Amino acid sequence: MGWTCTHRDRGEMTNLAWFKRELDSDRGHELLDLASAGFTLYGAYKVPDGRVVGLVILTYWTKAEFNYCWKEMDESQGPGYYDCPPRIFAMLTPHDGSENEWARDWRARCQDSIAQRAARPRLTKGSRVRFASAMRFTDGTEGDTFEYVKRNTFRKIVPLDFTPQLGEPWFYSGLYRIHGWAQREYAVLAP
């Protein structure tokens, strides 16, 4: 369960094409589809007995000659990553009872994660959100209310006492990156 590193030119080919070349074999293994969630890739992987199992591939880039590293784990190895996209999860062969406990646990946690993501309100540019707990940033500021800009970038909103001369009852502070914000508890505020 170690890491494999090799040289890979950025933009040379898609992740799916790259990993099909690396993981497919003439013994019946075939990577059917791949989707990313950050640097974690989730795949539907066909094994020789015809089943399609979940595959998790952790990746990172370095500046060394062997600049691309990955570690692949199938669901039976109990990978601790559960953000499998619904498209990939739907391709997996249903369990028949012969799988191990780790595979059952991984699928159950992925189903929970998919359900939680589906139940959350989707944010669009300009959505105002309030997180359940305040966050402290490296510049020393703290806040719980932000305006969504894109991906993991938010603009901090500082509430003010409303006066007609000021217009909106808040002003905007700087931009902040909030990694893992989708896993935090939050509420979308009325515009």
Measured distance CA(86)–CA(118) in Å, rounded: 10
Residues 111, 133 share a domain: no
Averaged pLDDT of the chain? 87
Same domain, 165 and 108: no
* Contact of 137 with 131, CB cutoff 8 Å: no
Q: What are 145-151's contacts with CB under 8 Å, separation 24+?
A: 145/170, 145/189, 146/176, 146/178, 147/172, 148/123, 148/124, 149/125, 149/175, 150/125
Q: Examine the fold and report which residue of 119, 140, 175 is the final residue of a domain before the chain moves on.
A: 119
The identity of residue 98, as a single letter, is S
The residue ranking higher by pLDDT, 20 or 120, is 20
Residue finishing a domain among 119, 147, 179? 119
- Amino acid type, 88: I
Last residue of a domain, one of 62, 93, 119: 119
Per-residue confidence at 162, pLDDT binned at 50, 70, 90?
Answer: very low
10 and 64 together in one domain: yes
Residues 144, 148, 152, 156: is their CA dihedral positive or negative?
negative
**Is 32 in the same domain as 112?**
yes
Residues 115 and 132 placed together within one structural domain of the fold: no
- Which of the pair, 99 or 82, is modelled with greater confidence? 82
From CA 58, how far away is CA 40, in angstroms rounded? 5
* Number of structural domains found in the chain: 2
Q: Check residue 106 and give its pLDDT.
A: 95
172: its two tokens: 């905007």
- Integer Cα distance of 27 and 47 in angstroms: 9
Confidence of residue 181 (pLDDT cuts 50, 70, 90): confident
Domain of residue 108: give its range: 4-119
Global pTM value = 0.76
Same domain, residue pair 91 and 24: yes
Q: Do 63 and 108 belong together in one domain?
A: yes
